A and B are shown apart, each in its own frame.
Chain A
Amino acid sequence: MIAKLSPFYRYYGSYLLRLFGIFALLFYGTSEVVMRVVTPGRRFYIPFLNQYFNYLEWLRKAVIHLAWIILKLLSYPAIIEQNWGLAIGNKHVFMAHECTGYGVMAFWIAFVFAITANKKWLHQLKWIAIGIAAICLVNSLRIISLLLTMHYHWPALLPFDHHTNFNIIAYIVLAVMMKFYINHIEGSNEKGIRPA
């Protein structure tokens, strides 16, 4: 039956299926399943998973600690508040699980899987790791910018609130990252290294 479909549906359909299927699995799996089982007080809370499988907490700690290290290197008196927030003086930024960027990471993983064939998993793993590290860095820089803006009362450059402005900048960086990866993949294909 699949063979009867036009090349467009076979090619583009399988691409979209990989992209949306993996994204939906990771995004909704995290927001609807993992978040429920690792959050104390929720209906399906499992303490064991919270202790050993709470990757949202790992992500949050990674982003906050990275932001804290950068601020310390810049000689700011930054304080980590019980692993869920960062403060300079009386200005605070709180990081809920929704702020870790797990949705963007889910998208990146799905994108890497969608545009490359399944065989060379080491290549995919490498680029997934690079992407996740870059997203964490962008997120940390976003939080630093937001905190410093609050600290110094800087005016907004764009006609939105600071949070939206820094999100726009972060998404531009992510789009550039996607473009860089696409160029890398297409360059590899031209050299005959890897058919996508």
Chain B
Amino acid sequence: MKILLNKQARTIILTLAVFVLPTIASAQFGPLPDSGSPDGPESTDVPFDGGLSILIAGAAGYGIKKYRNYKTQNEN
């Protein structure tokens, strides 16, 4: 069977899976409380860390770009 992914790509995917998936799994929250009445008392809580996994994935991706720059500089 033809190998579709090289070693580096597999490492990246595995690393992201190990670190990012638990963050996604623990970042879910239930429905917000809502009185339903437009004039009645209404309150909500405001958790802020739900999108952390996206930022982490972005930072991990940026590391690959940095490595490419580093490799190009070394080759020149």
Listed in ascending order, the chain A residues whose CB lies under 8 Å from chain B are 7-9, 11-12, 15-16, 19-20, 23, 90-96, 98-104, 107, 110-111, 114-115, 139, 142-143, 146, 150, 153, 161, 163, 167-168, 170-171, 174-175, 178, 182, 196
Instruction: Report the bound CA distance from A98 to B28 in whole Å.
Output: 12
Most B CB within 10 A of own CB, among A8, A100, A142: A8
Listed in ascending order, the chain B residues whose CB lies under 8 Å from chain A are 8, 11-12, 15, 19, 32, 38, 40-52, 54-56, 58-60, 62-64, 66-67, 70-71, 74
- Chain B at the A interface: mostly helix, strand, loop or mixed? helix
Q: A98-B47, A104-B55 are in contact. Are A91 and B42 (CB under 8 A)?
A: yes
What distance in Å separates the Cβ of B76 from its nearest Cβ neighbour in chain A? 14
Instruction: Report the bound CA distance from A150 to B23 in whole Å.
Output: 29
7 example contacts (A-B, Cβ-Cβ < 8 A) are as follows A9-B11, A19-B59, A19-B60, A93-B45, A107-B59, A150-B42, A167-B48
Which of A99, A167, A171, A196 interacts with B45 by CB under 8 Å?
A: A99
Instruction: Report the bound CA distance from A102 to B52 in whole Å.
Output: 11
Q: Which residue on B lies nearest to A14, using beta carbons? A: B63
Interchain CB contact under 8 A, B38 and A153: yes
Q: A93-B46, A96-B47 are in contact. Are A175 and B40 (CB under 8 A)?
A: no
Instruction: Report the bound CA distance from A9 to B63 in whole Å.
Output: 12
Q: A92-B43, A161-B32 are in contact. Are A98 and B48 (CB under 8 A)?
A: yes
When A and B form their complex, which 9 residue pairs have the shortest distance between CB atoms, in order from nearest? A103-B49, A92-B43, A171-B51, A15-B63, A101-B48, A90-B41, A99-B46, A94-B45, A98-B47
Instruction: Report the bound CA distance from A103 to B55 in whole Å.
Output: 11
Interchain CB contact under 8 A, A178 and B44: no
**A residues within 8 A CB of B38?**
153
What distance in Å separates the Cβ of A115 from its nearest Cβ neighbour in chain B? 7
Q: A12-B63, A15-B67, A96-B47 are in contact. Are A107 and B19 (CB under 8 A)?
A: no
**A residues within 8 A CB of B67?**
8, 11-12, 15
**B residues within 8 A CB of A98?**
47-49
What distance in Å separates the Cβ of A122 from its nearest Cβ neighbour in chain B? 22
Which of B15, B43, B59 interacts with A111 by CB under 8 Å?
A: B59
Interchain CB contact under 8 A, B8 and A8: yes
What distance in Å separates the Cβ of A193 from its nearest Cβ neighbour in chain B? 16
**A residues within 8 A CB of B44?**
92-94, 146, 150, 163
